[in-house]
Amino acid sequence: MGGAQLERPSGARPGVCVRRSFRAHAGDQPRRPPGPIPVPGTMKQESAASNTPAASQSPTPSAQFPRNDGDPQALWIFGYGSLVWRPDFAYSDSRVGFVRGYSRRFWQGDTFHRGSDKMPGRVVTLLEDHEGCTWGVAYQVQGEQVSEALKYLNVREAVLGGYDTKEVTFYPQDAPDQPLKALAYVATPQNPGYLGPAPEEAIATQILACRGFSGHNLEYLLRLADFMQLCGPQAQDEHLAAIVDAVGTMLPCFCPTEQALALV
């Protein structure tokens, strides 16, 4: 795979260290973005097949999606949430990098993947922010991969998640002077699952209480924090760091250490 390789920095980035008291023995080690997956669905997917409602008409490859100028059959897809560690669709290449003009926020409600109708979880979306910068992974899909990836993501992100598609400019970490047009899934305030802003402590409390078909909401938070550490000190996300710190302070109050480890 031609994507940039991630290495853990020598020192943990201030503000995004996951507290050792509930993280060290969880058995969930930081990962690089995974390699190509031959067949979508071979891993535990964000959209559990047995619990997936009928999908709406999946988008078809067309001019509405950004394409690679060198290959009109190729498409880049930018992930900044669970897609950074579990894309679950076949792809040809992946690159770590960032988009400018957006900040990542835990402002989208989730009643399927990381929560339920009675207790919605909190997952991320992008907020337009002139000074913002959001790190993630861009995946290149080619040929038949394009329609398969879009069909799968239409269910996972749009039908089950409430996200819309948007074109963004992606800057690869290893070649920021060679930006790429990419497709991103963004939850806007107009979708029914949108929760909007809340104090980081309140978001942390909600995350600790919620679980969905894809796992505990805490796992989602910690995997995202691990990814940001692997990106190095240049990758900053104060919102994410504040929620991780709040969780570390609250977790012993919610359950004993042994039960806390079982959450992740």
Catalytic residues: 157
End-to-end, the C-alpha distance of the chain in Å comes to: 29
Residue that has been written with the tokens 């909401």 in this structure = 217
User: What is the rounded CA–CA span in Å between residue 202 and residue 215?
Assistant: 20
CB–CB of 144/170 below 8 Å? no
The residue type at 178: Q
Distance CA 36, CA 26 (A): 26
Q: Is 60 exposed, middle or buried (0-12, 13-18, 19+ CB in 10 A)?
A: exposed
Provide CB contacts within 8 A for 55, sequence distance 6+.
151, 154, 155, 159
Strand, coil or helix: what is 145?
A: helix
In the Cβ-directed half-sphere of 233, how many Cα atoms lie within 13 Å? 6
Tokens 């058995």 — which residue? Answer: 27
Helices (H), the chain: 20-23, 144-153, 200-209, 217-231, 238-254, 257-263
Single-letter code of the amino acid located at 238: E
Tokens of 92: 């040809």
